[in-house]
Amino acid sequence: MYFPNDIWLLIKSFQYHNIKIHGKHLKNDPSVTSYNCVVKDIPTPKILPVGPCIVYCSQYKRPRLVKFIYCLPVFRQNAYKLVIEYTQVIYYERYMVDNNISMSTDEYISSVYKTQYPD
């Protein structure tokens, strides 16, 4: 299975659970509770009003990937960061077959994309 390099490095870091790295949210000291409060206050991504939103990767490379692009507002006026999320198209196709959804794959993916983060 092929993953882009930036995603593969992130996946490798989570292959083995390291309680010192991944278990920090379980502590009850004041710095961790304030960190958890800050994480809750981080704004959710917004769907871009214009520009590329859903980008399909190469049809000939396997597995077929779809890239979702969101906009995350930064704490300055009119400043945004892009959030890019990769998913395999086959997951959506399997879900559609299992649940008897009679839409095209592209229509279903765009409907899921638009309902994922409400405005």
Task: Assess whether 62 and 115 both reside in one domain.
Answer: yes
Same domain, 48 and 88: yes
Q: Count structural domains, the chain.
A: 2
Compute the CA torsion angle 104, 105, 111, 114 (nearest 10 deg): -150
Q: What's the pLDDT band for 87 if we cut at 50, 70, 90?
A: confident
- Alpha-carbon radius of gyration of the chain: 18
C-alpha span between 74 and 50 (Å, rounded): 18
Distance between CA atoms of 41 and 87, rounded to whole angstroms?
Answer: 26
33 and 47: one domain? no
φ, ψ of residue 47 to 5 degrees: the values are: -75, 135
- Spatial separation of the C-alpha atoms in residues 105 and 64, rounded to whole Å: 12
Query: What is the mean pLDDT of the segment spanning 14-37?
Result: 74
Query: Helices (DSSP H) in the chain: which residue ranges?
Result: 5-13, 19-22, 30-41, 89-98, 105-116
Q: What percent of the chain has a predicted confidence (pLDDT) above 70?
A: 82
- Please state, in angstroms and rounded to a whole number, the distance separating the CA atoms of residues 11 and 20: 17
Average pLDDT, the chain: 79
Judge if 20 and 56 occupy the same domain: no
Based on the domain organization, do 53 and 110 belong to the same domain? yes
* Whole-number pLDDT of residue 118: 61
77 & 116 share domain: yes
Task: Give residue 24's pLDDT band: very low, low, confident or very high (50, 70, 90).
Answer: low
Question: Do residue 24 and residue 78 come from a single domain?
Answer: no
Higher-confidence residue of 96 and 16: namely 96
**Which pLDDT value is given to residue 119?**
56
Same domain, 37 and 48: no
Q: What range does the domain containing 110 cover?
A: 43-119
Do 105 and 82 have their domain in common? yes
User: pLDDT tens for residues 31-71?
Assistant: 878 887 888 888 777 766 655 678 888 778 888 888 888 77
5 and 49 assigned to the same domain: no
Same domain, 83 and 116: yes
